[in-house]
Structure 1
Amino acid sequence: MTPAIMTALKSIFRKQETWITLVLLLAITLRAIHFFGRSSMWLDELAAAFNVMERNFYQLATESLGFNQVAPPGFLYLQKIATLVIGENDHAFRFFPFLFSLAGLLFYRSLCKTFTTGVPAIGAFALFALSLAMVFYSGEAKQYAADLTAAVFIVWSALQLLYKVPDKRRLWIMSIGGLIIILCSMPAVVMAPMAMLIVFIRILQKKSPLALSRFFAVVIPWAIACLVVTLYAKLVISIDVQEAMSDYWSRGFAPLSSVWELLKWFPTKIHKELTFSLAWWASDIIPFTSYIAWALMLFSIPGLIYCSKKYGIVTLLLFIPLITALLLSILRVLPFDGRVSLYATWPIFIGGMAGINALGEWQPRFFKPVVVGILAALIAFPLAITKLAVPMLRPPYNGQSAQPVLRELKKQWQPGDVLYVYFKSRYALRFYGPREGITEYVAGRSHPTVEPILRDIDSLRGKKRVWFFFTQWTPKQPFPDSIKAYMGTVIGKQIAVIPDPDGNTEDVEAAAHLYDLSIKKGDH
């Protein structure tokens, strides 16, 4: 390699944009591996999928969803369109979340370059782009990727309107893109008006070059989308579903019993959800995830001051997703918890890295460029390196892989076999069973305790070969454990197992166990 080529390569790899582009390509690759390589949909995805499959466009817009599901109307319409074009399969239901996640990367990259520079900018982008949780939900047949992209898109659009006079192409992206993404996200109904209010105030203060005509070209489509989603939430989603969701997600609502409890809740809850967005379930495997979350929160304090001095009230735009999530949690409208709050915590990635930039500017004697770079790298890159180095942390991330289990079950099926299906696995049988040639089975009934389920299973005594298929084990209802023990040691014996194809256990396991229930008592 000639000295000239070496010099050119060194020049390229010294540039911030080069490294951000490399991270972007890696992020796209990880999402593609997850999307194309992921196995069966799990219970929540299947419940959402059946709502789309069993309703036409009119019903999707006017009827509350079944199975205690909630989704914005625009997202339901896109899911329906995907199934009509691609077919009713896993990839169709996950197609638009995948596209949303790719778009989110592009808009987020712009935000990183706006608020941070150098290694902190690369770090802020890597934290988002390579997050295990964000890669996972890019291939989930639910609206969480849309919520995340909506949050990023709204902040990006507001900044574009404040600091640039957008050309027609960009104006169309903001107006039509905003219309579509807001229709696909319920939190966006709150985030969009907050962002546009800040822009409007800056225009009135003559601190933005944007003409009111161009401002309203964006605001009017956004307002229409907000109105549609609000009416849908108020008039279509049934009271029963709302109450069921509030009960299920009660842990995500702010405690209002006392001011002190609320004040304690803010930092601890933000830390918990930030940890979730960084690594989700892998936070148990990567113990330093919690420390990285605390470090990002700590550095966000100087980051907030730094951005406020540089951008003034515009800094509020960056934190609108987090402010929205906290506000909706206090008002008990939407929970701030887990996958539902994935859209809210990414501003802390940028805020934390901006704080490191701030230290470099405020105290250059102690925080020289090399120190700033090392500090940002120590916070941003260990998680990404660990995820790539540990095989089990690489995509695709499978859970409840029902179809491979049913395919193997069909191969082992013999005349006279009986298939008993755990009540929480009925959706999996309805969706994947016909695809694997399994249409006859005994569907278990739902009961609040396991005893009635065992009494139902008693009706299968005397059968030589009884398969028990299950998914969706939960800590609150570990009924499959009791069922297996009962069938294998009390009324029969286990003679074969089709284990989870991914080696998963507990709530992400899918498996089938074969029992001989013809054995008489005492013959074990």
Structure 2
Amino acid sequence: MEFITTKPTSTVYARATWLCRLAWVVLGLGVILRGVIWAQQRSLYLDEANLLRNFTERTYLGLFRNLDYEQYSPPLFSVLVKASIGLFGNNELAVRLVPVLASMLTLGLFFRQTQRWLTPVVAVFALSFLAFGKVFVDYGTVCKQYATDGLAALVLIEAAYYIGRGQFRGREAGVWIALGCLSIWFSMPAVFVLAGIGLWYLQQAWLRRDWTAMGWILGAGLAWLICFGAYYLLLLQTNVESSYLQQYHREMFLAFPPRNPEELQLLLTQLGELINKTVGKTALAAALAVVCFPLGLYQLLKRPHFLTWVLLVPIAACLAASALHYYSLMSRLVLFMLPLVLLVLGWGAQWLGRQHKWAAGVLTLLAVVVLANQQQLRYLGKPFQSDYTNIRSGLELVATHQQPGDAVFAYYNVAPVARYYTQEHTPRLKLSGLFLQEAGQQPSKQDPFTYGLLKLQQQGHRRIWVVYDREDEGPAQLVAVQGKVLARYPVYRGYVLLYKPGAVQPR
């Protein structure tokens, strides 16, 4: 079997000892950064709270069917998180332990693969983007399956590098049947990576005219298809056919082929967002990606080899599934694919650097500037700022200042997190007079926020606390109209209001 490397790893790093040490430093800092952010125990957000509610309400067997509260999670990931809660308690550290460990292991595997396939300087930069990029750090430290998706992809690629190098027979087929089926139930996007690996094995068997190997490979592939078919029918079909989810992800399905100028603009926006999440949202980052990715793509297709199949096929399969409205390009859902994109970028950058010495210098300078703009190392010394409101701090603030008889309004976007901290978290937050609004409680034509507030006011509460998870002023203005604002407390990406209702007209 043909496996492409730049040079033997020992030779490369013997000639560039300082780059080897720098790569280890980057790896260490990336692991430490994830550990520090995990230890900060930042507030859960809406999807985490809803997902955890499934884990606390269901048995292990119950995790192998569609989840409630508009959530999805691969069953084996769910089992691991539920086990962590059982062992260590229901708290931020326990529920995020599996994703954090997966994120660290992903970084270690990517370190190994960049050493193998990229030149030393390019390897350092590629590793740095994964180690310090916000999307990798953020979603690698929350209780969702995105970090484990990335780990599954790199584990499968690493396994393909070693298994079946000489021949593919019954033992190799057995290993791959087990590994492939487990990975599907552990990470749904693993099926995209398995497609590339299967085609790689088939190509090699065809070139060797090894029909026995081809039979075993096709047998393993058939087992994967059966496994994925069962997975689809049990867990995915309902979500794929959900009109709510189709509408929710409408702008995140790949607009290809574009049929009008609006769809062309959407397509360019979607591709730009992939660049943004991989190397950053700046003109320089876009320039780096626009130059290096097509070059890497061209070089991988010019002489197909191992990386051509295991990098490009999963990317193409994911984009094709998205164009067919089967897979969303929401940034967290394509997290598994971004390390593959980085390897393609690196492949193009190293080819250009070898062809033109001036290009190597320009690319190095460009990568330094882009990386400096995107890195998250500052959070080693201060709380991490994610894209989500710190609802827990708002609830704690209310618990500290509320008086007997006060009501606390948690509207439907805040309610799942409030429920978690007051009913499920260990220890529970003591908060009296809490009203948890369920989605859909209000009449269909009435604003849910307004409806919830009016309902509390009609119950005769003299003071009402409002925890809000946005920075817009709509709720504050509404409260000011309905009564007197007594206090306002800012929280990260939101605020808490205390107000005294005015007279409420009977309905």
Calculate the TM-score normalised by the size of structure 2.
0.82
Distance (whole Å) between structure 2 residues aligned to residue 352 and residue 27 of structure 1: 20
Q: Counterparts of 1:90 and 1:55 in 2: how far apart (Å)?
A: 19
By how many angstroms is 1:175 displaced?
Answer: 7.8
1:45–1:141 Cα contact (<8 Å) kept:
yes
CA contact (8 A) 1:31 1:138 kept: yes
Q: 1:161 to 1:254 in 2, by over 3 A?
A: same
**Which residue matches 1:349?**
342
The structure 2 residue matched to 1:332, chosen from 325, 328, 334, is 325
For the residue of structure 2 that corresponds to 1:512, the secondary structure is strand
Alignment of 1:504-523 (within 5 A): 504-505=492-493, 509=494, 511-517=495-501
Asked if 1:24 corresponds to 2:5, the answer is no
> 1:52–1:80: 8 Å Cα contact kept in structure 2?
yes
SS in 1 for 2:413: helix
Q: Which structure 1 residue ranges, 5 or more long, are not aligned?
A: 1-9
- Asked if residue 457 in structure 1 is aligned to residue 448 in structure 2, the reply is no
Report the AA paired with residue 423 of structure 1: Y
**Within 1, Cα distance between the matches of 2:15 and 2:25?**
12
State the Cα RMSD in Å.
3.7
Partner of 1:499: 490
| Contact 2:487 2:499 (8 Å CA) reproduced | yes
Inter-CA distance 233–88: structure 2 relative to 1 (3 Å threshold):
farther
How many aligned positions are there?
478
Kindly provide the amino acid, as one letter, of the partner of residue 490 in structure 2: P
1:498 partner amino acid: Y
Pair 45,389 (structure 1): closer, same or farther in 2 beyond 3 Å = closer
Matches within 5 A, 1:439-478: 440-444=433-437, 446=440, 447=442, 451=447, 453-459=449-455, 460=457, 463-471=461-469, 473=470
Q: Is the 8 A contact 1:409 1:498 kept in 2?
A: no
Q: Which amino acid aligns with 1:278?
A: V
User: So what's the TM-score if we normalise by structure 1?
Assistant: 0.79
- Superposed, 1:62-461 pairs within 5 Å as 62=65, 64-161=66-163, 180-206=182-208, 227-237=226-236, 239=238, 242-255=242-255, 268-279=269-280, 283=281, 288=282, 290-308=283-301, 312=305, 314-361=307-354, 363=355, 367-368=356-357, 371=358, 373-386=360-373, 387-388=375-376, 396-398=384-386, 399-434=388-423, 435-438=428-431, 440-444=433-437, 446=440, 447=442, 451=447, 453-459=449-455, 460=457
| Native 8 Å contact 2:146 2:333 kept in 1 | yes
1:150-200 deviation per Cα after TM superposition (whole angstroms, max 9, x unaligned): 22222332233465799xxx9999887665443221111232133122123
The corresponding residue for 1:6 is none
Q: Secondary structure at the match of 2:208?
A: coil
Asked if the contact 1:492–1:516 (Cα under 8 Å) also holds between the matched residues in 2, the reply is: yes
Q: Matched residues in 2 for 1:130 and 1:250: separation?
A: 30
Q: What secondary structure does 1:400 align onto?
A: coil
Against the structure 1 CA distance between its residues 116 and 423, is the aligned structure 2 distance closer, same or farther, given a 3 Å change threshold? Answer: same
Residues 129 and 278 of structure 2 are in contact (CA less than 8 Å); yes or no, is this contact kept in structure 1?
no
Aligned to 2:242, what secondary structure does the other structure show? Answer: helix
Match of 1:484?
476
Residue equivalent to 1:60:
63
Contact 1:183/1:225 (<8 A) preserved: no
Please give the alpha-carbon distance, in whole angstroms, between the structure 1 residues aligned to 2:497 and 2:391. Answer: 13
SS in 1 for 2:488: strand
In 2, distance between residues paired with 1:299 and 1:517? Answer: 60
Give the whole-Å Cα distance in 2 for the aligned partners of 1:311 and 1:407.
57
- Whether the 8 Å contact between 2:74 and 2:186 is mirrored in structure 1 is yes
For residues 126 and 330 of structure 2, what CA distance do their matches in structure 1 show?
A: 22
Matches of 2:224 and 2:382, distance apart in 1? 37
Gap runs ≥5 in structure 2:
1-12
Cα pair 2:406 2:433 within 8 Å, conserved:
no
Q: Per the alignment, do residues 110 and 423 of structure 1 end up closer, same or farther by CA in structure 2, a change over 3 Å counting?
A: same
Give me the identity figure in percent: 20
SS for the counterpart of 1:297 is: helix
Q: Confirm or deny: 8 A CA contact 2:394 2:496 kept in the other structure.
A: yes
SS of the aligned residue for 2:255 comes to coil
The CA distance in 2 between the partners of 1:309 and 1:57, in whole Å, is: 48
**Cα 1:207–1:260 shift into 2, 3 Å:** farther
Residue pair 1:57, 1:77 contacting (<8 A) in 2 also: yes
* Distance change (3 Å), C-alpha of 1:273 and 1:156: same
Q: Following TM superposition, by how much is the alpha carbon of 1:468 offset from its aligned partner in structure 2, in angstroms?
A: 1.3
Deviation of 1:42 (Å): 0.2
